[in-house]
């Protein structure tokens, strides 16, 4: 998002993606953060991504909702980067299961008609000069930006209780296995946020 000043100034970037904190509300039931950035203002039709993150203490779940301010037709990609060691299985059209050691999580999202979701190879860098292979779940769409994407990451036990309220059709499973190290941080790295 930030442009280089010159090709040979590798560590000097223009300040294009200025962060904005729109709301921070910690509480006994949930913590809520709303933020945005200006990294896409240089487009012919500027876009401001707005992300709401809610950590629900009662359900031990993390909900991430992305909205987009602007106009026009755009190609949108929203990745959820997973820690190395996470196994991903698609359980239904709107449900992925994440396994990290003996822990299981469900990733569910809104409006499958508006978004395509798939698992893609990815890389993470836990420290300078060190790169590890992993996977990302990537939601994408092309079209008007007057849409939202709501993704919830929750322990599988919570998902089983919620299944009575939100029935999910059975889907075809496709698992991909990774090294089970770094399991505890696996499910909710969401672009570096836990």
Q: Is residue 87 part of a domain?
A: yes
Residues 48-61: pLDDT tens digits?
A: 999 999 999 999 99
Mean pLDDT, the chain, rounded, equals 80
Q: Are 121 and 135 in contact (CB under 8 A)?
A: yes
Q: What is the pLDDT of residue 191?
A: 34
Domain count for the chain: 1
Q: Domain for residue 10, yes or no?
A: no
- Is 174's pLDDT higher than 80? no
CATH of the domain at 158: 2.70.98.70
Q: Is position 2 within any domain?
A: no
Residue 56 bridge partners (DSSP): 30, 61
| Arithmetic mean of pLDDT, 28-38 | 96
In a domain, residue 64? The reply is yes
- The per-residue pLDDT for 194 is 34
Q: In this structure, is residue 157 part of a structural domain? A: yes
- Can you tell me whether residue 2 is helix, strand or coil? coil
Whether 50 and 68 have beta carbons less than 8 Å apart is answered as yes
Q: Does the residue 169 lie in any domain?
A: yes
At 16 the pLDDT is 74
Q: CB burial class (10 A; 0-12, 13-18, 19+) of residue 104?
A: middle
Q: What is the pLDDT of residues 63-80, one digit of tens each?
A: 999 999 999 999 999 999
**Cα 39 from chain centroid (whole Å):** 18
Rounded Cα gap, residues 120 and 56, in angstroms: 28
Cα(13)–Cα(18) distance, integer angstroms: 12
Residue 118 domain boundaries? 19-192
Alpha carbons within 13 A on the beta-carbon side of 18: 5
Residue 46 confidence (pLDDT): 94
Q: Which pLDDT tens digit goes with each residue over 92-151?
A: 889 999 999 999 999 999 877 899 999 999 999 989 889 999 999 999 999 999 999 999
State how far the Cα of 93 lies from the Cα of 117, in Å rounded to an integer: 9
In a domain, 13, yes or no: no
């Amino acid at each position: 998002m930030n442009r280089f000043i010159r090709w040979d100034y590798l560590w000097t970037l223009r300040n294009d993606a200025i962060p904005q904190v729109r709301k921070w509300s910690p509480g006994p039931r949930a913590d809520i953060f709303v933020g945005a950035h200006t990294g896409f203002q240089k487009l012919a039709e500027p876009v401001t991504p707005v992300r709401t993150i809610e950590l629900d203490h009662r359900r031990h779940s993390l909900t991430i909702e992305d909205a987009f301010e602007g106009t026009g037709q755009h190609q949108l990609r929203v990745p959820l980067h997973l820690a190395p060691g996470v196994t991903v299985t698609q359980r239904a059209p709107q449900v992925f299961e994440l396994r990290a050691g003996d822990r299981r999580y469900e990733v569910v999202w809104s409006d499958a008609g508006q978004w395509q979701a798939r698992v893609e190879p990815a890389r993470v860098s836990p420290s300078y000069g060190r790169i590890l292979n992993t996977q990302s779940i990537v939601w994408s769409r092309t079209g008007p930006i007057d849409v939202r994407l709501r993704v919830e990451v929750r322990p599988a036990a919570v998902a089983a209780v919620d299944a009575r309220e939100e029935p999910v059709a059975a889907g075809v499973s496709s698992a991909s296995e990774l090294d089970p190290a770094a399991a505890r941080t696996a499910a909710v790295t969401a672009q570096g946020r836990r």
